[in-house]
Amino acid sequence: MKALLSLIFLLFFHVSFSQDLNEILKVRWEKGKKESQLELRGRAILNYQSIGEFYESRGFSPIWIESNDLSELAYELRYEIEQSKFDGLNPQDYHYSLIQTFFKSIEENKKSGFDPSLGDLADLEFFLSDAVIRLALDLDRGKLDPSKLNQSWNIPKKSSKFDSSIFLQKLAEDRSLRPLLVELYPVMNAYSKGREVIRDLATRMEKNELDWSSLRVNKSIKVGESNSTVPLIRERLAFWNYSSGQDLESKVYDSLLFKTILKYQENHGLEADGIIGKNTLAALNQSPEDLIGKVSVNLERLRWLDDSQLMSEAILVNIPDYSLVYLDRFDTVFFSKVIVGKTENQTPVFRATMSYIVFSPFWNVPESIVNKEIIPAVRRNPNYLTRNNMEVLSYSGKPVDPQSVNWKARSIPYLIRQKPGPSNSLGLVKFMFPNSFSVYIHDTPAKHLFERDVRSMSHGCIRLARPLDFAKLLLQGQEEWTDEKINEAMKQDHEVKVELIKKTPVYVVYLTFWTDGNCNPYFRPDLYDRDQEILDRLSK
């Protein structure tokens, strides 16, 4: 009989407790509706509207609290918030410290045999729901709005289909959070690899005993030379698992260290010349913490991209990597080195559609280049235009005698055009994806420039190392365009325009952390100094 009474008491207590907690949750929600905001303990519940509607739809039954105790789901959420640092996010954005305080208090009360107050549990229920929605939204579309940054990112931010109420409903039904969050991750390999890299760097940081003060030298160190900084360089290379010789204290830059430096430079997008100069030292001066910041910035950039549009076929140019890839369901089916804009003529970040090809193109010289380069060159050498196969045209397109032009003026009321041919600055073909920046991909007669590792030297357009192969790829399916016909089209004295049947999206992006086709991670120099602004805003 005693056992039966105890059971009845427990059941009654559970029902009574649940009804009381439900009622408090309802009061909190009605207060939020009335005031058009919900603030608890001095903190705003940003997603109070969708959260309140979710609870209202289930009679204000909690999902994080069970029988005046924390549910397994609540502990899972706390873990996922803590793990968000590996997504380059800040756990404090998701009430982490406050949630920790709540959990500690509830656990201590439990040990002492006391029940937590219903008010505390109601507040915690709202904070946990708000935290999970904040985290899900940031994973789904990024924490920052790229349009509000002081830099060029002209790709429309992903239009999210995320619905807070549906997410919470599914969470309440499945009682498992991890699969729902994974569904929100960008599907590009660089994202999952980036999370692994941050985790590895965090582990290295915990074990780190190195002094990461900046290494400096008065002049570049070349193989065979001796320098007191060399042992510190060896030490840092060893930290990153690069072999730097058995004698870490040797001050001599020997042949084994030279091979290691070459590999290090190659992996970090530096000029692989084996010379330890300012750029190589700048890379070596990056601590694990610095690299965590670099990866974090690029995971945020990946979250901005609508990768659903990349899941079929797409052309992707990565400016700091000096590379172009053609992706087919994220598999790299084509790769080429590229040359991008100089710091003073930065290649913009944007999205467009590859629409047509022009073989044997004219080059209409931009006015800025005419004024800064062509006019001074003609002053120095009156035969400059003839030597470079250029002509002067009126704005209506009529030929103008160069000798009739006043080349002493700062600018001229004419157009300069370079005729098709092997010496044309656009090479033998250009690839057009119309955009507001007048940027396109093109061939170049200066093939030797692709041998360099640092290739920021254009006026903003993108020069391609493998234009013939790229043209063949884009024209697949247009059977009349045989290899022979393509080669012939490249040798005309007039433009040959070809509309592409298959229109492929082109993404020109800026990623200083990247993975290759084999999912190997690479760090790249911040060519246009854009990382720090994003890192600062992510940290706030």
Four-residue CA torsion sign, 102, 105, 111, 114: negative
User: Of 14, 95, 268, 442, which one is the catalytic site residue?
Assistant: 442
164: buried, middle or exposed (CB in 10 Å: 19+, 13-18, 0-12)? buried
| Amino acid, res. 292 | I
Order of all β-strands in the sheet with 390-393: 363-364, 415-418, 390-393, 399-400
- 403-438: b (≥16 Cβ within 10 Å) or e: eebebeeeebebbbbbbbeeebbbbbbbbbbebeee
| Residue 442 annotated to the active site | yes
- DSSP annotation string for 30-50: HHHHHHTS-EETTEE-TTHHH
Q: Give the residues across from 276 on adjacent strands.
A: 221
CA distances from residue 339 to 443, 509, 538 in whole angstroms, order as listed: 10, 14, 30
Active site residue 461: yes
Cα–Cα distance, 227 to 232 (Å, whole number): 10
Alpha helices in 36-92 (DSSP H): 48-57, 72-83
Instruction: Spot the catalytic one: 14, 268, 461, 519.
Output: 461
Can you list the alpha helix ranges (DSSP code H) found in 183-284? Answer: 189-207, 230-239, 255-267, 278-284
In three state form, how does the secondary structure of 156-190 look?
A: CCCCCCCCHHHHHHHHHHHCCCHHHHHCCCCCCHH
**Measured distance CA(426)–CA(470) in Å, rounded:** 15
**Residue 17, H or E segment:** helix 2-35
DSSP helix, strand, coil percent of the chain (3-state; round to 5): 45, 15, 40
End-to-end CA distance of the chain: 60
Q: How far apart are CA 30 and CA 24, in angstroms?
A: 10
Helix ranges (H only) for 463-512 are 467-474, 483-489
The answer to whether 478 touches 471, Cβ cutoff 8 Å, is no
Specify whether the CB–CB gap between 171 and 73 falls below 8 A.
yes
Report how far residue 463's alpha carbon sits from residue 472's, in angstroms, rounded to the nearest whole number.
Answer: 17
Tokens of 296: 């974090």
| Cα within 13 Å of Cα(56), Cβ side | 13
Instruction: Return d(Cα 390, Cα 209) in angstroms, integer.
Output: 62
For residues 284 and 230, give the distance between their C-alpha atoms in angstroms, rounded to a whole number.
12
Catalytic amino acids?
442, 461
